[in-house]
């Protein structure tokens, strides 16, 4: 038995630590530095919105205006870019209407903040976004803040945020992480089609599967794979699909078994391999939507500005890097071992030592530490009300 004095000291120390432990285990997303920055940006944009003339730019001259070309509205364009922070106040005047080097740099900064191609060209799409009333930007900030306030707390140390209209994943070790300490990875999200959108929800990532099988969702199997298999008897084998019975037995492809697939008594899955739709790894978080994060063989999609191509799950641009973040608590999972597992021939499940809360969010306004605010397209039309 421990001495009474030792027991008292131990209990006292535990009592002192308990509030910190509880706080760490239930951190609110509202304590994120970037949530607070967005709150601070709201009054600034409310003030800008009270000046409707800022976004009233003259029409384009029937074509895109390229760098070093003339635009009659260049003075109004300068006023707008200075007001929103994309152009220094020192550039308020210019000798002529030419899109000079400084003005082009301001256009590029504006384009970057609004998810546009940063070519410095004043084209129709850029002009349309520039002439969008700033009251809409206020609305975007308010809607994003409201959605953020509705998020449940994080009971774990780490968290992952997937911002759907930003096409980006943010992984953090603590809610106080700065941008420099955040892991940021481009992602592909669900298509704009209503039934294929990535939903907003919260789930806990519990395990990782290297070289996964892809259990094809029934809707995809019925609409895409079954017609292809009936049209081409070699289709399933050529793409490494197999038919599986309820007890997990692989059954041969035949007209009768395709009929059983159509009836729902068989299912279809794709074997691990280079053409597997889930790539070399998937990150599992049990949820009612059957949505998860995964690798993909379709790497070219990450070069697109707008990345809405999946059936609802989220494809990760740097899956090995995310695996390193997720498995960092286990020193046995080095980058070399992760790479080996992703190249392996057998499917392998790895349980996390502690779950990671994953937030699938929809925010069209994002404040950054340099004072700028990103405004994104309302990808799924959720802010039309």
HSE, CB side, 13 Å, CA atoms: give it for residue 131. Answer: 14
SS3 201: strand
Dihedral pair phi/psi, residue 47, rounded to 5°: -65, -45
Residues 78 and 190 in one domain: no
Tens digits of per-residue pLDDT, 134-150? Answer: 999 999 999 999 999 99
Q: Which of 80, 102, 130 is the last residue of a domain?
A: 130
Tens digits of per-residue pLDDT, 93-135? Answer: 888 899 999 999 999 999 999 999 999 999 999 999 999 999 9
Nearest to 34 by CA among 222, 217, 224, 172: 172
Sorted by sequence, the CB contacts under 8 Å of residue 150 that are 6+ apart come out as none
Pure H helices in 269-385: 319-326, 335-343
Residues 258 and 176 in one domain: yes
- Mean of all residue pLDDT scores within the chain: 91
Q: Confidence class of residue 13 from pLDDT cuts 50, 70 and 90? A: very low
CA 90 to chain centre: 36
* Pairing state between β 168-172 and 159-163: antiparallel
Residues 208 and 282 in one domain: yes
Q: Which of 114, 130, 146 is the last residue of a domain?
A: 130
Residues 65 and 189 in one domain: no
Residues 227 and 310 in one domain: yes
Q: Confidence class of residue 385 from pLDDT cuts 50, 70 and 90? A: low
**Domain CATH number, residue 121:** 1.10.101.10
Q: Which of 130, 159, 181 is the last residue of a domain?
A: 130
Tens digits of per-residue pLDDT, 152-161? Answer: 999 999 999 9
Residues 301 and 196 in one domain: yes
In a domain, 35, yes or no: no
| CA pair distance 363, 150, nearest whole angstrom | 12
| CA pair distance 245, 251, nearest whole angstrom | 7
- pTM for the full model? 0.87
Tens digits of per-residue pLDDT, 245-287? Answer: 999 999 999 999 999 999 999 999 999 999 999 999 999 999 9
Domain containing 96 equals 57-130
pLDDT at 218 over 70: yes
In a domain, 70, yes or no: yes
Residues 105 and 217 in one domain: no
In a domain, 188, yes or no: yes
B/e letters for 5-44, b = 16+ CB within 10 Å, e = fewer, are eeeeeeeeeeeeeeeeeeeeeebebeebebbebbeebbeb
Q: What confidence score (pLDDT) does residue 222 get?
A: 95
Nearest to 323 by CA among 306, 310, 336, 308: 336
Residues 250 and 117 in one domain: no
Residues 201 and 109 in one domain: no
Q: Domain total for the chain?
A: 2
Tens digits of per-residue pLDDT, 320-341? Answer: 999 999 999 999 999 999 999 9
| CA pair distance 81, 54, nearest whole angstrom | 9
CA 298 to chain centre: 17
Residues 105 and 183 in one domain: no
Look at the alpha carbons of 69, 72, 74, 77 in this order and tell me if their dihedral is positive or negative.
negative
In a domain, 42, yes or no: no
Residue with tokens 């492809």, as numbered in its chain: 253
């Amino acid at each position: 038995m421990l001495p009474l004095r030792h027991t008292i000291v131990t209990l006292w120390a535990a009592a002192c630590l308990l509030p910190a432990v509880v706080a760490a285990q239930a951190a609110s997303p509202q304590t994120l530095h970037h949530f607070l920055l967005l709150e601070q940006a709201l009054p600034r944009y409310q003030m800008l919105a009270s000046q409707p003339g800022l976004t009233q730019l003259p029409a384009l001259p029937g074509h895109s205006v390229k760098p070093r070309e003339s635009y009659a509205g260049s003075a109004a364009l300068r006023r707008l870019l200075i007001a929103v922070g994309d152009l220094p106040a020192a550039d308020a005047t210019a000798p002529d209407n030419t899109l000079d080097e400084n003005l082009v740099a301001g256009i590029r900064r504006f384009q970057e903040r609004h998810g546009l191609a940063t070519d410095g060209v004043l084209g129709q799409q850029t002009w349309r976004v520039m002439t969008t009333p700033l009251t809409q930007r206020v609305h975007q900030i308010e809607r994003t803040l409201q959605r953020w306030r509705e998020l449940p707390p994080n009971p774990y140390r780490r968290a992952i945020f997937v911002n759907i209209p930003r096409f980006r994943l943010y992984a953090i070790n603590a809610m106080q992480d700065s941008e420099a300490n955040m892991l940021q990875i481009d992602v592909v999200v669900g298509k704009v089609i209503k039934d294929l959108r990535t939903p907003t929800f919260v789930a806990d990532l519990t395990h990782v599967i290297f070289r996964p099988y892809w259990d094809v969702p029934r809707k995809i199997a019925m609409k895409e794979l079954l017609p292809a298999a009936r049209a081409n008897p070699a289709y399933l084998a050529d793409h490494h699909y197999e038919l599986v019975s309820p007890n997990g037995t692989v059954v041969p492809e035949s007209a009768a078994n395709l009929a059983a697939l159509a009836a729902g008594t068989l299912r279809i899955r794709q074997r691990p391999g280079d053409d597997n739709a889930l790539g070399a790894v998937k990150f599992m978080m049990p949820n009612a939507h059957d949505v998860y994060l995964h690798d993909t063989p379709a790497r070219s999609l990450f070069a697109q500005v707008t990345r809405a191509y999946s059936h609802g799950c989220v494809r990760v641009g740097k899956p090995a890097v995310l695996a390193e973040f997720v498995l960092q608590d286990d020193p046995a999972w080095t980058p070399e071992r992760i790479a080996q597992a992703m190249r392996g021939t057998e499917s392998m499940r790895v349980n996390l030592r502690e779950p990671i809360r994953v937030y699938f969010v929809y925010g069209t306004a994002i404040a950054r530490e340099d004072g700028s605010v990103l405004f994104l397209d309302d990808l799924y039309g959720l802010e039309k009300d």
